[in-house]
């Protein structure tokens, strides 16, 4: 990993309003221990040795970002995002220099991603020379519903994964895949879905279940618990050393 020191850029789409949180501000600006979720997420990314820059795609009328510590962070830059996540990701990609062969995309509301998972993802992509996503295996029995919300069938879970972020791809390929999908009217829910639609390989790198996405009010306390546990683990390791 030392050869990749501060080499990579991460795009963080943060133009959404997070209506499911039922809060007075976008969910990325809710606080956990005096830091916004967005600050926790971006600072966690920048504290990894291979990540040197984060591009945040903000809403056009965002009035909260200037009040965060990120506004004066020299390793952070901002672009104006769009109505959908894919529009914000594309805006971030278009601001990246041609020299940046690889790019990572990470959800603003995933503040608990750990360094080990980031390292595994980056190492996989470099060694295999194609993109990949962090993902976790489905543990529960999965049901497919019909239009009446009755069980239609039980799905085979052995080959099913929950898609997480970051997702990492070659910058030019991801840009092409997104533009191609938008031109064809294909619904893009994450970067992997765009890559799949254009026929690019996309690996699965097993990630920690700690890497939750804050979408519901109850997720906020769970994220705080995980962040504190991670902080305590790091403190314990430092003491042992």
- Domains of the chain, by residue range, sit at 2-240
Q: What is the pLDDT of residue 236?
A: 47
Nearest to 120 by CA among 211, 187, 34: 211
Q: What is the pLDDT of residue 208?
A: 95
For the chain, 241 residues long, give each residue's pLDDT as a single digit of tens. Answer: 555 677 999 999 999 766 666 567 899 999 999 999 999 999 999 999 999 999 999 999 999 999 999 999 999 999 999 999 999 999 999 999 888 999 999 999 999 999 999 999 999 999 999 999 999 999 999 999 999 999 999 998 888 999 999 999 999 999 999 999 999 999 999 999 999 999 999 999 999 999 999 999 899 999 999 999 998 876 544 444 4
Name the CATH superfamily, with its identifier, for domain 2-240: Spore Coat Polysaccharide Biosynthesis Protein SpsA; Chain A (3.90.550.10)
**Alpha-carbon gap, residue 164 to 176, rounded angstroms:** 22
For residues 185 and 178, is the Cβ–Cβ distance under 8 A?
Answer: no
Whole-model pTM? 0.92
* Half-sphere CA count of 130, side-chain side, radius 13 A: 11
């Amino acid at each position: 990993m030392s050869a990749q020191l501060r080499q990579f850029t991460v795009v963080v789409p943060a133009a959404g309003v997070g209506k499911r949180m039922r809060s007075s501000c976008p969910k990325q600006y809710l606080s956990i221990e005096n830091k916004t979720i967005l600050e926790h997420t971006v600072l966690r990314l920048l504290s990894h040795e291979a990540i040197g820059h984060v591009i945040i795609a903000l809403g056009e009328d965002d009035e909260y970002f200037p009040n965060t510590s990120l506004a004066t962070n020299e390793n952070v830059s901002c672009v104006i995002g769009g109505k959908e996540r894919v529009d914000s990701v594309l805006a971030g990609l278009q601001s990246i220099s041609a020299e940046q062969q690889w790019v990572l995309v990470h959800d603003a509301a995933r503040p608990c991603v750990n360094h080990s998972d980031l390292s595994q993802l980056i190492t996989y992509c470099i060694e295999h020379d194609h993109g990949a996503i962090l993902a976790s295996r489905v543990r529960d029995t999965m049901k497919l519903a019909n239009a009446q919300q009755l069980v239609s069938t039980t799905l085979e879970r052995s080959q099913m994964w929950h898609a997480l972020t970051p997702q990492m791809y070659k910058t030019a390929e991801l840009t092409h895949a997104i533009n191609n999908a938008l031109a064809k009217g294909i619904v893009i829910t994450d970067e992997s879905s765009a890559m799949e639609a254009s026929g690019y390989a996309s690996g699965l790198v097993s990630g920690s279940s700690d890497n939750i996405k804050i979408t519901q009010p109850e997720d906020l306390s769970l994220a705080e618990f995980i962040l504190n546990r991670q902080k305590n683990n790091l403190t314990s390791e430092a003491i042992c050393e």
